[in-house]
């Protein structure tokens, strides 16, 4: 489980976001992104969108960290 701020210290290589016909949440729900946040938009994690898929009545969006380094930096994997 991620601790607050961990996402910004160790940014992910790939991000998944889903949107469905029902949203589950509430005051005790874990956010999809947590931590201390940013003050300016240029401090945000830059993403490159890879795909958007429709599964029944739900959408799955896949994006990559634009600044990632290492083995899978080129989109062909």
Would you list the domain boundaries of the chain? 6-25+33-65
Read off the pLDDT band of 57 (50, 70, 90): confident
Residue 62 has pLDDT above 50, yes or no: yes
Read off the pLDDT band of 71 (50, 70, 90): low
pLDDT tens sequence across 1-56: 444 444 455 566 777 777 777 766 778 776 666 666 678 888 788 888 888 999 88
pLDDT of residue 34: 62
- Which three-class secondary structure string do you get for 25-64? CCCCCCCCCCCCCCCCHHHCCCEEEEEEEEECCEEEEEEE
pTM for this model (two decimals): 0.56
């Amino acid at each position: 489980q991620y601790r607050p701020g961990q996402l910004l210290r160790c940014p992910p290589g790939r991000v998944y976001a889903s949107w469905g016909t029902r949203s589950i949440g509430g005051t005790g729900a874990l956010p999809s992104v947590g931590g201390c946040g940013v003050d300016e938009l240029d401090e945000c994690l830059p993403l490159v969108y890879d795909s958007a898929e429709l599964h029944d009545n739900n959408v799955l969006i896949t994006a990559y960290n634009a600044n990632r380094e290492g083995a899978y930096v080129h989109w062909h994997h």
